[in-house]
């Protein structure tokens, strides 16, 4: 009887393995708490993905250590296509920051299979509308005259907005005073309440506060002007070699079979063109910037290199 049961189980396993991918639910890990860019991108992405795959796709939040907990979890997951991750640009920052601070990194970028870039929004520099800084040149001039006196908020040490400000300071040769918070929301709240003098946010977060007349934008970290903000010059246009994006991208563990990776890229392209997903991203004022294959790899390599240089120059930070 046991031999029969074992034979039946073996047959069932063989049948399950022979079924085309996917034949069971897929989980997309968001390495941040609910309500952030990763989570807000992953949920509509998962809904559209499920529609095209004919299989349920769920989002699970595994937050902690600025995203490192979720990143490390996916790095150790089975490379079978059933555990994916919607990561932000901080995924490339954390291993370098660990090394700079003498810590053993919990993962490396080589632990992942890049699937597709979904969005890449440049941060924008926000100053209160009533401030004396009408232009970025005004801000830089005062920072040079009063080093360490102008305060800025960030989402946390080595977080996205900390990194972009460090990039700006290195390019402009100035010193600002960093005030870290526990996330992008608290960072924006600090700027709104006047706890800090300036901040950086994605265009989607910044827009409502600019339209309300509370803030003005002094520049964008984009490689070119953002279509939604055509009147806002880039930092490069203004003479500062600084380019930074808060991007969201789909990753899988390394070792993913080539056929499953291609299936995921194919369905990701469908999601990027899906009206429901486009509407969700539009609601966040976040434009879709879809790239996969060699194009995404080139973007990822260039951005990772740029970020690593900033972190190493920044050095150890407590």
| pLDDT over threshold 60, residue 187 | yes
| pLDDT over threshold 50, residue 11 | no
pLDDT at 34: 85
Name 236's Cβ contacts closer than 8 Å, sequence gap at least 6. 223, 242, 243
Sign of CA pseudo-dihedral 282, 285, 286, 287: positive
Could you please report the per-residue DSSP string of 62-81? ---GGGHHHHHHHHTS-SSS
Which of 202-207's residues contact partners 24+ apart within 8 Å by CB, and which partners?
202/37, 202/121, 202/123, 202/124, 202/246, 202/286, 203/121, 203/122, 203/124, 203/228, 203/229, 203/285, 203/286, 204/121, 204/284, 204/285, 204/286, 206/124, 206/126, 207/285
pLDDT at 15: 44
| pLDDT over threshold 90, residue 242 | yes
pLDDT at 204: 81
pLDDT at 2: 55
Could you please report the per-residue DSSP string of 29-55? EESS-TTSHHHHHHHHHHHHHHHHHTS
Average pLDDT estimate for 27-55: 93
Q: Average pLDDT, whole number, for the chain?
A: 91
Tens digit of each residue's pLDDT (9 = 90 or more) over 147-183 = 999 999 998 888 888 999 999 999 999 999 999 987 7
pLDDT at 234: 97
pLDDT at 3: 55
Tens digit of each residue's pLDDT (9 = 90 or more) over 204-234 = 888 889 999 999 999 999 999 988 789 999 9
pLDDT at 14: 45
Query: 188: closest CA among 121, 122, 249, 128?
Result: 128
Evaluate whether 206 touches 126 at the Cβ level (below 8 Å): yes
Residue of 151 and 13 predicted with greater confidence: 151
pLDDT at 171: 96
Collapsing DSSP to helix, strand or coil, 159 comes out as coil
pLDDT at 205: 84
Question: Which domains are assigned to the chain?
Answer: 25-121+245-314 (3.40.190.150), 124-220 (3.40.190.10)
Question: 15-24, 106-115, 117-126: which has the minimum mean pLDDT?
Answer: 15-24
Neighbours of 290 (CB within 10 A): 17
Angle of CA points 244, 247, 252, to nearest 5°: 135
Question: Helix %, strand %, coil % for the chain, to 5?
Answer: 45, 20, 35
Band of the pLDDT at 16, cuts 50, 70, 90? very low
Band of the pLDDT at 18, cuts 50, 70, 90? low
Q: What are phi and psi of 73, to 5 degrees?
A: -60, -45
pTM strictly above 0.85: no
């Amino acid at each position: 009887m046991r031999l029969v049961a074992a034979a039946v189980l073996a047959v069932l396993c063989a049948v399950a393995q022979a079924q085309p991918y996917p034949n069971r639910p897929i989980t997309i890990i968001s390495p941040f708490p609910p309500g952030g860019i990763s989570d807000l991108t992953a949920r509509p992405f998962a809904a559209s993905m499920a529609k095209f795959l004919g299989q349920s796709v769920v989002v699970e939040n595994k937050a902690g250590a600025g995203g490192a907990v979720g990143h490390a979890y996916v790095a150790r997951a089975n490379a079978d296509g059933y555990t994916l991750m919607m990561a932000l640009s901080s995924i490339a920052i954390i291993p370098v920051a660990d090394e700079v601070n003498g810590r053993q990194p919990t993962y490396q970028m080589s632990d992942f299979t890049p699937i597709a870039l979904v969005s890449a929004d440049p941060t924008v520099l926000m100053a209160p509308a009533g401030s004396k800084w009408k232009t970025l040149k005004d801000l830089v001039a005062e920072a040079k005259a009063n080093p360490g006196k102008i305060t800025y908020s960030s989402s946390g040490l080595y977080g996205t907005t900390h990194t972009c400000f460090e990039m700006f300071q290195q390019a402009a040769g100035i010193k600002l005073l960093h005030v870290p918070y526990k996330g992008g929301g608290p960072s924006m709240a600090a700027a709104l309440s006047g706890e800090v003098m300036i901040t950086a946010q994605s265009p989607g977060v910044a827009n409502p506060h600019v339209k309300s007349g509370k803030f003005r934008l002094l520049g964008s970290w984009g490689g070119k002007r953002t279509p939604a903000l055509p009147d806002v010059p880039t930092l490069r246009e203004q003479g500062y070699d600084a380019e930074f994006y808060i991007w969201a991208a789909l990753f899988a563990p390394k070792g993913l079979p080539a056929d499953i990776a291609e299936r995921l890229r194919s369905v990701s392209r469908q999601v990027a063109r899906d009206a429901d997903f486009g509407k969700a991203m539009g609601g966040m004022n976040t434009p879709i910037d879809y790239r996969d294959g060699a194009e995404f790899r080139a973007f990822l390599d260039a951005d990772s290199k740029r970020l690593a240089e900033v972190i190493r120059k920044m050095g150890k930070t407590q």
